[in-house]
């Protein structure tokens, strides 16, 4: 590595880098100004933002066709919105594991599947047990079962090194999928139909009509707000600080008295529980699930989404998820080239902005340090 650093003319790359730095500065400037605002303004702005999100399925702006049903062959906008909301919930759960505790979980779809199948099996009259519990009873069962499966997976594997953990979780996700495909309980590709809507048996008329997914979207939105609030509280608690310490240096954290294994297991369990909750939402939204909905590539996409958005930062993670799952719906005209474009975009964005589009401040600083270290190594090497 003795090559001296070349002085380059203002090439395309250096221009992009300069623009990149400017944008980063703008974002952090925006952040400072945001945190300088009086609290009441911040609350009002947040409320306005949330109100906008709630109104989104009913809004159409002429001239800006952001709705996916305004394009030819587009999907119902409320359906897309509810999908994205469910995926955002998944991403928030995965962010606890990957972004906060720094554990690379590539088989997160397994928990999502466990949640979805729990609701299907206990709620549907067509399943093998046919208990037909209402949705509200199924969800706690789903969350409990996914937490248990998180602990079962975590117990033996969390002692492994990072990369091995990634591959073991990938294997776990695939095993769950194979069970879904082959087991009589989950009924493979034929799947389980007639999964109850959230209000089944509670009220006379249903708030979740067939073919209109707005209520599902709103429900998911409410749950997202609750979960985000809870996760933020966790992040700034002793648990969150332990995660941070483990993420940055597990050995040092252990020496300082952080019980690394215990907190990693907690991260797994909490992340799994959120995954289970989103799986439950997914099952009742579609009303029918089969083994096709839980392939590993989706799991990998989730990780891609949160890293793209900026791991560790809940807003960044949300942004990444929305981009990864909304843009393909909006740009249907690319047809079968959508994934190709997505793959190329993923490389380009991550090479230009390894910290993600909207990273947490702490993460951005960590990355800057690493970059400086690399430069120093080149100069001194």
Partner 1 sequence: MTYLAAQADSFGDLWHNLADLTVSGLTQGSIYALIALGYTLVYGVLQLINFAHSEVFLVGTFGSIVVWGWLGYASGDGGGVPGLGMVILLLAVGVIVAALISGGTAVLIERVAYRPLRRKNAPRLIFLITAIGASVAIAEFVGVLTDRKPVGVPALVSPTTQWQIDPRDIGLDIQPVNITNLQIGIVLSAVLMWFALDSFLNRTKFGLGIRSVAQNEDTAALMGVNKDRVIMLTFLLGGLAAGVAAVLYNLKIGTVTFNIGFLLGLKAFTAAVLGGIGNLRGALLGGLLLGLAENWGAGFFGSEWMNAVAFVVLIVILMFRPTGLLGDSLGRARA
Chain residues in the site for partner 1 (CB under 8 A):
1-2, 98, 104, 156-157, 159-164, 166-168, 170-172, 174-175, 178-179, 181-182, 296-297, 300, 303-304, 307-308, 311, 336-337, 339-340, 342-347, 350-351, 354, 367, 370-371, 373-374, 377, 381
Which secondary structure element, helix H or strand E, spans residue 349, and what is its range? helix 338-352
Distance of closest approach, residue 117 Cβ to partner 1, in angstroms: 16
- Complex with partner 1: residue 222 or 348, whichever CB lies closer: 348
Q: Pick from 119, 265, 248: which is nearest to 195 by CA?
A: 119
Distance of closest approach, residue 97 Cβ to partner 1, in angstroms: 12
- Complex with partner 1: residue 168 or 314, whichever CB lies closer: 168
| Distance in angstroms (rounded) separating the CA atoms of residues 176 and 170 | 10
Distance of closest approach, residue 27 Cβ to partner 1, in angstroms: 19
Which secondary structure element, helix H or strand E, spans residue 86, and what is its range? helix 77-95
Q: Are 135 and 123 in contact (CB under 8 A)?
A: yes
- Complex with partner 1: residue 51 or 155, whichever CB lies closer: 155
Three-state DSSP class for 275? helix
| Distance in angstroms (rounded) separating the CA atoms of residues 232 and 318 | 14
Distance of closest approach, residue 339 Cβ to partner 1, in angstroms: 4
| Distance in angstroms (rounded) separating the CA atoms of residues 107 and 63 | 41
Distance of closest approach, residue 80 Cβ to partner 1, in angstroms: 21
- Complex with partner 1: residue 165 or 227, whichever CB lies closer: 165
Largest CA distance in the chain: 76
- Complex with partner 1: residue 98 or 272, whichever CB lies closer: 98
Distance of closest approach, residue 95 Cβ to partner 1, in angstroms: 13
- Complex with partner 1: residue 176 or 220, whichever CB lies closer: 176
| Distance in angstroms (rounded) separating the CA atoms of residues 328 and 325 | 6
155, 161, 166, 171: CA torsion to nearest 10: -60
**For the chain, how are helix, strand and coil distributed in percent, rounded to 5?**
70, 0, 30
């Amino acid at each position: 590595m003795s090559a001296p650093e070349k002085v380059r003319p203002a090439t395309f790359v250096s221009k992009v880098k300069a623009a990149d730095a400017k944008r980063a500065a703008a974002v952090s400037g925006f952040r400072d100004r945001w945190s300088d605002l009086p609290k009441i303004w911040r609350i009002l702005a947040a409320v306005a933002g949330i109100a906008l999100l709630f109104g989104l399925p009913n809004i159409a702006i002429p001239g800006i066709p952001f709705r996916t049903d305004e394009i030819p062959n587009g999907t119902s906008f409320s359906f897309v919105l509810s999908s994205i909301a469910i995926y955002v919930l998944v991403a928030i759960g995965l962010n606890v594991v990957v972004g906060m505790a720094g554990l690379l979980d590539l088989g997160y779809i397994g928990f999502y599947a466990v949640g979805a199948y729990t609701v299907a099996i206990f709620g549907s009259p067509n399943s093998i047990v046919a208990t037909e519990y209402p949705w509200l009873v199924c969800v706690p069962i789903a969350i409990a079962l996914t937490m248990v499966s998180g602990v079962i997976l975590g117990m033996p594997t969390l002692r492994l090194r990072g990369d091995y953990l990634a591959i073991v979780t990938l294997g776990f996700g695939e095993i769950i999928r194979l069970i879904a495909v082959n087991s009589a309980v989950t009924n493979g590709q034929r799947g389980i139909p007639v999964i109850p809507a959230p209000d089944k048996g509670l009220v006379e008329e249903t708030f979740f009509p067939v073919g209109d997914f707005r209520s599902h979207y709103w429900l998911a939105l409410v749950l997202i707000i609750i979960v985000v609030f809870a996760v933020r509280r966790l992040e700034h608690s002793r648990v969150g600080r332990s995660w941070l310490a483990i993420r940055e240096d597990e050995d040092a954290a252990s020496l300082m008295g952080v019980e690394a294994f215990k907190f990693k297991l907690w991260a797994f369990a909490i992340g799994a529980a959120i995954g289970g909750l989103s799986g439950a939402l997914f099952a009742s939204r579609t009303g029918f699930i089969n083994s096709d909905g839980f392939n590993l590539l989706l799991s990998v996409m989730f990780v891609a989404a949160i890293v793209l958005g900026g791991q560790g930062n809940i807003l960044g993670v949300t942004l990444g998820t929305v981009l990864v799952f909304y843009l393909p719906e909006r740009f249907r005209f690319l047809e079968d080239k959508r994934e190709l474009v997505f793959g190329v975009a993923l490389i380009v964005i991550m090479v230009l902005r390894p910290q993600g589009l909207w990273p947490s401040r702490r993460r951005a600083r960590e990355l800057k340090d690493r970059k400086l270290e690399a430069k120093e190594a080149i100069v001194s090497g």
